[in-house]
Amino acid sequence: MPQIGPYKLANQVALAPMAGVTDLPFRRLCAQMGAGLVVSEMISSNPRLRDSRKTTWRSVHDAEVEPRSVQIAGSEPAELAAAARYNVAQGAQIIVSNMGCPAKNVCKKAAGSALLADEPLVKNILTAVVAAVTVPVTLKIRTGAAPDARNGVTIARIAEDAGVAALAVHGRTRACKFEGQAEYDTIAAIVAATDFPVYANGDIDSPARAAQVLAQTGAAGVMVGRAAQGRPWLCGQIAAHLAGEPVVPVPADEQLAILRRHLQAVHDFYGEFMGVRIARKHVGWYLQDQPDYRARRTAFNGLQTPAEQLQQIDLLFNTDFNKELAA
């Protein structure tokens, strides 16, 4: 099984950090359902933002499933080093440096995957962050800034030389965003060029695909992102398949029970006002495979209290939804 510093992980499957998705309630649920590693949402290294509501929510580390893996983002080596120390003091057991986010609002600040175009800065950041803390530091990247500027192998070697303990690679460039096919050949080249654990990320949406990606890349593990939205059981199913165990389907009644538990955790964590609003997007992902998806999502989005949301879940997952809505 993959090992990051002193932490030997339970299996080969990690949940990818996704801003606005992998909050504490979702991470805990995915871990309970079999993810071997979960990672926090991106936390800015800017100390002026530490008291903001968003950063405060993202910085609750004491309720995490161990090992507590916390992702930080920024572009200034000293500021990122200070952010790493701060989050370790708050309970982080692994620090993740984000150089993989392709979002425009992150890259315009020369952070996230924008950093891949500046190899000396990457080296300076990683050297500073590794030196700042005693816990393992890992790195999340893409394969380069653009298809004609793929430097994932070089970045990986820089990271390993700086003392980074593990690497996750999304198999697309910054410019590709989420379009096209993931570059598993590039990930394989990175695995071949380094000795630390590498997680393959990108388009891993089923147990069979995960096994195929591991065979093609030689990676130590897989990292599951968007496919887990509305399917917190997916990481566990993939882990079972990779371990040679049967993949147990999640029947509709059990999915409903999981969603209820998720909703309650969201309400408890964020409070009534924000909890109701944040629950809407998560329920939308659970509903995405239902018939009349848009009508069901619109109906749920009109609900205004936690009690209403919990009461209406059964109706939204009922095959006679339209009949009951019209009654």
Q: Is the dihedral of CA 95, 101, 30, 27 positive or negative?
A: positive
Between CA 120 and CA 135 the distance in angstroms is 23
* Residue 284 token pair: 């939308």
**Is 107 in the active site?**
no
**Active site residue: 30, 101, 107, 176, which one?**
101
Q: CB of 26 within 8 A of CB of 64?
A: no
Residues 6+ apart with CB under 8 A from 298: none
Could you count the other beta carbons within 10 Å of the beta carbon of residue 280?
15
Q: CB of 132 within 8 A of CB of 141?
A: no
Radius of gyration over alpha carbons of the chain, in Å? 20
Q: At what angle do helices 152-162 and 119-132 cross, to 10 degrees?
A: 30
| 176-195 b/e (C-beta count within 10 Å ≥ 16 → b) | beeeeebbbebbbbbbeebe
Largest CA distance in the chain: 66
Q: CB of 258 within 8 A of CB of 233?
A: yes
Could you count the other beta carbons within 10 Å of the beta carbon of residue 304?
12
Between CA 142 and CA 152 the distance in angstroms is 7
Closest by Cα among 168, 177, 234 to 26: 234
Which residues are catalytic, by number?
101
